[in-house]
Chains A and B, each alone.
Chain A
Amino acid sequence: MNTNSISVSIKLGAAAAGVALLLVLPGSGSMSHALYASILFTGFWLSDSGRTRRSRGGWIALVIVSGAVMRGWITGNADAGLEIAIRGLLALGTLLLLSAHLPPAELARWLRARGISADLVGTMLLLLRYGDLLHQEAFRLERARSSRSFSTSAETSWRAKSALLGALFVRAVSRAERVYRAMLARGWK
């Protein structure tokens, strides 16, 4: 389903309203929660898998469930824990759905139109553009180092990995200079 025509305000507003609704809904397993979950499920069903981002959703779900178990254990009330778990997981689902339908460029334009500083918006855009690229670069650096190294301990040592990240930072800074010149050349203001 193409949602590009829907404005960012509506998408963000709907997600925030959905999460706020979850926070005020009483109880842990009401019909309202079931209805919310079914709407969320339909949203995922209609989503185009090509548009979705890789997310640490599984890990975040684990943190939510751990927090819920802790809450239930502290209060001695399993319902209190269940309430946190259901709220947290449904809210996570809402954010995952939002992230699948929020193109970064549109978000940046929306933030800029609302007076958010060009520094922050530009930083966010470059982060999205170059984050994966630098990750691939780090992967290449690590592969190159391991191909020249025979010791397993050296491959995994903190000193070696930190040196790798140091080299990655140096490359990032040198790339920043190239990006700066390219931005100037294109009349970026």
Chain B
Amino acid sequence: MTLPFHHLLAGNRVGGIYFSIMHIPDGFLDLKTAATAGGLAALGLYAGGFAGVARDAETGVRRVSLLGMAAAFVFAAQMINFPVVGGTSGHLIGGVLIAILLGPAASVTVMTAVVVVQCLLFADGGITALGANLFNMALVAPLGGYLVWMLLQRINPVAASDTGSAVAAGIAAWAGTMLAALSCAGQLALSGMAPWGLVVPAMAGIHALIGLGEGIITGLIIRSVRRRGALSAEMRTAAGADQRSTMRLLPVFFITAAGAALFIAPWACPWPDGLEAVAGSLGFEVHAAGPVISGICPDYAIPALGTVWGTIAAGAFGAIVTALLILGAGRLAARREQAPVIDS
């Protein structure tokens, strides 16, 4: 016989601030939000399950061993504390880091394994909030961060160098953390846990700093790994970092973008933006001319669908169009790079 509880709490470290407070516990989300997030996570992971399918059994075994060790690395890295300020410390989250090193498909699998193990075997994150936690940490953070990384790689040639790559990785990791925090804030607000106007500044403020830490650590690790040349082309292909595997992940990108829009868009602030506020205070708002070309979804709404659903649909539509434009621009840029040089 032993005293209950004491042995279960043996490993906790309450002394330091724990980087990321995104593991939503049970009781924080209402049924509709938990079910929606769970459905989106299941849909995304189901669609993503095909992205990592190996072409042959041997590659499959290599892939499992690589992903397993990457997951073990994330798990171990989360136990290494980085000093912050005032005796507090934080640690790496790792989703964007793995997405950059081993590809987005590998990152989704690794982060899913980490979040499921943390929930079922370490009680970190609620069982009813497992879907929401998976959506935020295994889909939004790595895929959002990876999109930013890809975009930076496309538009900035300096990003190919060691230092440029580290900076781009840092920005991507910061963006991934912020996107996941905003999605988490949207879920909490949708559940009525706290009003949007309160939960977003709180989550965004804390995670802007946490993301900064995540960005610096990610950038430094990327630089360190690149300098050592640790990953062979074979390994990256087995992990699914090649373009073909990434393209097969497109439906997951769309589901994630639409889901994030679902949680964030309805809470778009109805207040006037900076220019509108200045125009209003100076009294020339009435003189403003109407738009030369009317947008497809003016004021982020589709009137036929009502306020909330209209904003959700407009947000999802915008996210999909933006993703398609980025991919199209990327393809054009890649084609231009591959164009043969004709000597005169």
Which residues from chain A sit less than 8 Å from chain B, CB to CB? 12, 15-16, 19-20, 22-23, 41, 44-45, 47, 49, 52-60, 62-64, 67, 70-71, 74, 84, 87-88, 91-92, 94-96, 98-100, 102, 104, 107, 117-120, 122-135, 137-138, 142, 156, 158-159, 161-170, 172-177, 179-180, 183-184, 188-189
Contacts and interface: CB of A to CB of B under 8 A. Distances in A.
A124 B124 CA distance: 15
A172 B198 contact: no
A47 B61 CA distance: 37
Given A58-B12, A95-B119, A166-B220, A176 B25 contact: no
Contacts of B66: 173, 176, 180
A165 B77 contact: yes
Contacts of B158: none
B121 A107 contact: yes
A70 B220 contact: no
Contacts of A164: 80
Interface size class of B (residues with CB under 8 A): 35 or more
B328 interface: no
A189 B59 CA distance: 10
Contacts of A120: 49, 109, 112-113
B194 interface: yes
A176 B116 CA distance: 21
Contact of A180 (B62, B101, B220): B62
A127 B124 CA distance: 16
Contact of B82 (A16, A104, A161): A161
Nearest to A116: B49
Main secondary structure on chain A at its contact with chain B?
A: helix
A67 B193 contact: yes
B247 interface: no
Given A16-B127, A58-B9, A124-B117, A131 B72 contact: yes
A168 B127 contact: no
Contacts of B83: 156, 158
A129 to B, nearest CB: 8
Contacts of B14: 58-59, 62
A130 B69 contact: yes
Interface centre among B13, B76, B110 (most CB of A within 10 A): B76
A127 B113 contact: yes
> 3 tightest A-B contacts by CB?
A126-B68, A166-B224, A54-B11
